[in-house]
Amino acid sequence: MTQDLIAGIERQLDTLAAQSLMRRRRTADSPTAPRQLVDGHPMLAFCSNDYLGLAAHPRVVAALREGAELYGAGSGASHLVSGHGRAHAQLEERLAAFEAPHLVDARALYFCTGYMANLAVLTALGSDPDAMIFSEALNHASLIDGARLARAGVTVYPHRDVAALEAQLIASNARAKIVVTDSVFSMDGDLAPLPALLALCERYGAWLVVDDAHGFGVLGAHGRGALEHFDLRSPNLVYVGTLGKAAGVGGAFIAAHASVVELMIQRARPYIYTTAAPPALAHALLASLDIIEGEEGAARRAHLNRLIALLDDTLKLARWQRPLSHTAIQPIVIGGNDEALYVASRLHEQGLWVPAIRPPTVAPGTARLRVTLCAAHTEDEVARLAATLNAFEHQLERSAA
Ligand SMILES: *Cc1c(COP(=O)(O)O)cnc(C)c1O
């Protein structure tokens, strides 16, 4: 009988392999940075979300060490029992003040991961079966799962389609309405039309939950993210920022009206029923915020923007598609799973690490290379990537002709 159980699993794995959908992990032997040792080989990486290059920044690393000296390694319990430490409290105050220009009566709440923060927001705001969640078609998996877990109904609106969303809001007689969207779409790099979405939410009395995983620290003159980029301010906004990407450490936060945050503390199960993140992480994040808010953060954002423009200027592709993106996420859509995997493995042979993203993360037939740029890259490194991709695409075109 046990044999049958395992044979069933192995059939599922064989099916994935036959569709070129098996994923494999590579093991990094050095800190997150453009130049890494991976499985023992030197590589130039274009795959992390460490957009400002803070994950291995000496000041952040020193703060993590200091945090461990001050507070130990673990928190010992959930926040509501005894795991809520001084560092967590300080971090929440800093984050609330940072996002305060865009919210009304702002308060912030720190979570272990962005995945959990998204589950928390949607299950707490959408706890009523008579509520409705309006979810953007290309939302991140954690928002999709949060909507599934909520008691509220769910309706999906097409990508960036403000008119379709308005029609859905007009037709709905839900008691509470929650519109939820990524700000920067994680596999495409384009932006949600947040000003138009917020105008709708204010008109129809809906919450606008903005998942700014790829905007926090990067967008806006001060790095406050998508709300600063679009110059928005509203009591309807519920902001989710992640802290393992541009902030370089780990965890996430919600910033919103103080009452929304109080509801999370009282009701959100992904907040209540889990051990608080190690306080040293919160202490390290205070150092990340110092950098993000200061001159160094501004200089790193300016350099990143130069690299984005450089890649745009130097890539000359005919066979593969490049959806319009002005962010650090620069997809190159190849189409088939096999070709995407083949290109990624050829790049890998040249010492370039660019992940091939396949279904179900993206729609079938849109397998892609997901290039991410970060402030720790040099202009020469970006030029090398572009030249390699140009030459390689040219070769494939010629052999296809
Ligand atoms: C990475 C990501 C998350 C999850 O954040 P983690 O802190 O990694 O769990 C949520 N939403 C989006 C859009 C993301 O890209």
Q: Concatenated DSSP letters for 283-311? A: HHHHHHHHHHHSHHHHHHHHHHHHHHHHH
Segment 158-183 shows an average pLDDT of: 97
Provide mean pLDDT across the span 213-220: 98
| CA-based end-to-end distance of the chain | 53
> Which secondary structure element, helix H or strand E, spans residue 171, and what is its range?
helix 162-171
**Confidence band (pLDDT; 50, 70, 90) for 61?**
very high
CA 29 to ligand 1 centroid distance, Å: 23
Strand order in the sheet with 41-45: 35-38, 41-45, 352-353
Six-digit token pair at 251?
A: 């965890």
Residue 157 is predicted with a pLDDT of: 98
Rg (CA), the chain: 22
Q: Can you give the pLDDT at residue 182?
A: 98
DSSP 8-state symbol, 101: G
What's the confidence (pLDDT) of residue 35? 95
**Token pair 């000359």 in the structure block, residue:** 316
Q: Sketch out the chain's domains with CATH numbers.
A: 25-54+295-400 (3.90.1150.10), 58-293 (3.40.640.10)
Task: Please state which of the ranges 31-40, 163-172, 277-286, 294-303 shows the lowest mean pLDDT.
Answer: 31-40
Structure tokens at 29: 């032997």
Between strands 237-242 and 206-211, the pairing is parallel
> How many Cβ atoms from other residues are within 10 Å of residue 32's Cβ?
18
**C-beta neighbour count of 350 within 10 angstroms:** 14
- Judged on CB neighbours under 10 Å (0-12, 13-18, 19+), 395 is exposed
DSSP secondary structure string, 182-212? ESB-TTT--B--HHHHHHHHHHTTEEEEEE-
Report the pLDDT averaged over residues 69-92.
Answer: 98
Could you tell me the sign of the dihedral formed by the alpha carbons of 374, 251, 187, 124, in that order?
Answer: negative
Averaged pLDDT for residues 134-141 = 97
C-beta 182 within 6 A of ligand 1: yes
- CA 188, 46, 225, 253 dihedral sign is positive
Q: State whether residue 280 is helix, strand or coil.
A: helix
Mean pLDDT in residue range 307-315: 96
Cis peptide before 360 (omega within 30 of 0): yes
Mutate to test the pocket of ligand 1, among 115, 190, 249 (most ligand atoms within 8 A of CB): 115
pLDDT of residue 396: 85
Query: How much is the pLDDT for 19?
Result: 87
Average pLDDT over residues 35-60: 96
Burial of 3 (0-12, 13-18, 19+ CB in 10 A): exposed
Give the per-residue pLDDT at 264.
97
pTM of the predicted structure, to 2 decimals: 0.96
Q: What is the pLDDT of residue 21?
A: 84
Reported as a pLDDT band with limits 50, 70 and 90, residue 28 is very high
223 touches 301 (CB < 8 A): yes
The angle, 0 to 180 degrees and rounded to 10, between the axes of the packed helices 194-203 and 162-171 is: 10
- Model pLDDT, residue 23: 87
Q: How far is the CA of 4 from the centre of ligand 1 (A)?
A: 36
Check pLDDT > 90 for residue 397: no
Q: Residue 385 carries which side chain, given as an amino acid letter? A: L
Per residue in 326-346, pLDDT tens? 999 999 999 999 999 999 999
pLDDT of residue 232: 98
Instruction: Decide: 188 in ligand 1 pocket, CB within 6 A.
Output: no
Average pLDDT over the chain reads: 96
- Cβ atoms of 310 and 383 within 8 Å: the answer is yes
Cα separation, 312 vs 304, whole angstroms: 13
Assigned token pair, 153: 């109904």
Backbone angles phi, psi at 155, to 5 degrees: -130, 140
pLDDT at 3 over 90: no
Would the CB of 113 count as within 6 Å of ligand 1?
A: yes
Mutation test residue for ligand 1: of 190, 238, 242, the one with most atoms within 8 Å of CB: 242
Average pLDDT over residues 9-15: 96
Structure confidence at residue 351 (pLDDT) = 96
- Residue 401: pLDDT over 80: no
Q: Which atom of ligand 1 is nearest to the CA of 115?
A: 9
Per-residue pLDDT at 400: 78
User: 229: pLDDT confidence band, cut at 50, 70 and 90?
Assistant: very high
pLDDT of 249: 98
Measured CA to CA, the distance from residue 216 to residue 241 in angstroms comes to 6
Spatial separation of the C-alpha atoms in residues 19 and 17, rounded to whole Å: 5
Tokens found for residue 364? 């079938």
- Rounded Cα distance between 158 and 136, Å, is 6
